Amino acid sequence: MREGAKEMTSLRPIALDPLPNLPLVSILISNYNYARYLGQAIESVLAQTYENFEVVICDDGSTDSSREILERFKAQDCRIKTIYQANGGQSLALNAAFSASTGEIICLLDADDLFMPNKVRLVVKALAGAPDSGFAVNRMLLVDKASKRLAEMPSVYDLPSGWQGPFLGSRGPRILPGLPPTSGLSLRRSAANAFFPLPAALKAYSDTLIQVVAPLVTPIVAIGGPLSAYRVHGANIGGVSRFTESRLRNIVLYEREIWRVWRQYLSSPCSGGPFDATLPAEMPPSLMDYAYMRFQSDQDFQTTYKAIPRTSFESLPTPHRWYWRASTMLPGWLFRRSFDFVYGQTRAKMIARRILNACRNSLLLWNKAVDFRSER
């Protein structure tokens, strides 16, 4: 075991106070020009079977009819709080909503996504049943703009659970395979306090920071059934099937913000460290740095690729490791196409998701049938 990894075993989860009976749940929504879907998102919250909640919605400078929709819902239900601010990006909107919230549990919901009616109740039940866990994750449905079911997420991996900190800290920022995006993430407030407020420069991919840092802060409790729906449409990041040079440039900038928060947390006493001596002072080259160079047709991409730490590859799922190892041999046009498939939401990938889901469901049914026969 490397020295840095050995020292990181002292990384500890934060202490959590006991949850009260029927804790207040704050559902945070950041919205920017999603009037088309915003009403459905709010209605999915108001239909919850758990009633002790508040909805805090920050409108981030929308120029569509979002304000009218928000005011109409606010007049109908006193549990809805609204905040209006100039456009500043997703993190600033979530920061404003978090500051205005008071719940012991935080559920995140994108303005174009949906909650299933039992989402909040099952999140409360899961966190109450795992008192040492401050991070709850659930499976999600992938739906189109008309809410038609496309697949289930994650397609390949199981949801991670338990205390993952010692396996993550020394390898650089890492997203555990199977972690859902924003609307599948819920947190105890004391766990969220460890990394809120989010950096203002992180104008998108705020959920990536949470996916990276939250498992270092607290154990995970996984909820197997799909409790929320992730909508893929042309206007959101998930619905954009093609990457561009400018989009990769932004991802590289956001990646640096996430790295900075990751290092900041591990350098703080609440992590069980600080671990300053085992962490690099500056972020080393990343796979996204390399990808950005490929999109720029920079012929020096091999130099950047060779400078990427080996641990960046070791922490990836096996199919992704194979992809990156083969990527240097691909011509530029084929690299861009393949990158779109691996990291975007192309039509081919949607078909692959459906096939994987069908195989997964068939395997589960087969295992149940085998268990039933063995019990007889």
Greater confidence (5 vs 245) lies with 245
* Helix, strand and coil percent figures for the chain, each rounded to 5: 50, 15, 35
Tokens (6 digits) for 2 = 């490397």
Task: Write down the pLDDT at residue 3.
Answer: 45
Domain extents in the chain: 3-239, 245-343
At 104-127, the pLDDT tens digits run 999 999 999 999 999 999 999 999
Thinking of the domain 3-239, which architecture would CATH place it in? Alpha-Beta Complex (3.90)
Cα distance between residue 81 and residue 102, in whole Å: 11
Task: Write down the pLDDT at residue 281.
Answer: 86
* Contact yes or no for 130/92 (Cβ under 8 A): no
Q: Is the pLDDT of residue 157 over 60?
A: yes
SS3 for 5-59 is: HHHHHHCCCCCCCCCCCCCCEEEEEEECCCHHHHHHHHHHHHCCCCCCEEEEEEE
Q: Is the pLDDT of residue 348 over 70?
A: no
Task: Write down the pLDDT at residue 374.
Answer: 54
The pLDDT of 361-369, averaged and rounded, is 51
* Mean pLDDT, all residues of the chain: 89
* pTM of the complete model beyond 0.85: yes
Task: Write down the pLDDT at residue 189.
Answer: 98
Task: Write down the pLDDT at residue 273.
Answer: 83
* Contact yes or no for 289/252 (Cβ under 8 A): yes
At 321-344, the pLDDT tens digits run 999 999 999 999 999 999 998 887
Task: Write down the pLDDT at residue 357.
Answer: 52
pLDDT band of 277, cuts 50, 70, 90: confident
Q: Is the pLDDT of residue 5 over 70?
A: no
- Between 25-39, 63-77, 252-266, 267-281, the lowest mean confidence (pLDDT) is in 267-281
Task: Write down the pLDDT at residue 81.
Answer: 98
The pLDDT of 197-218, averaged and rounded, is 96
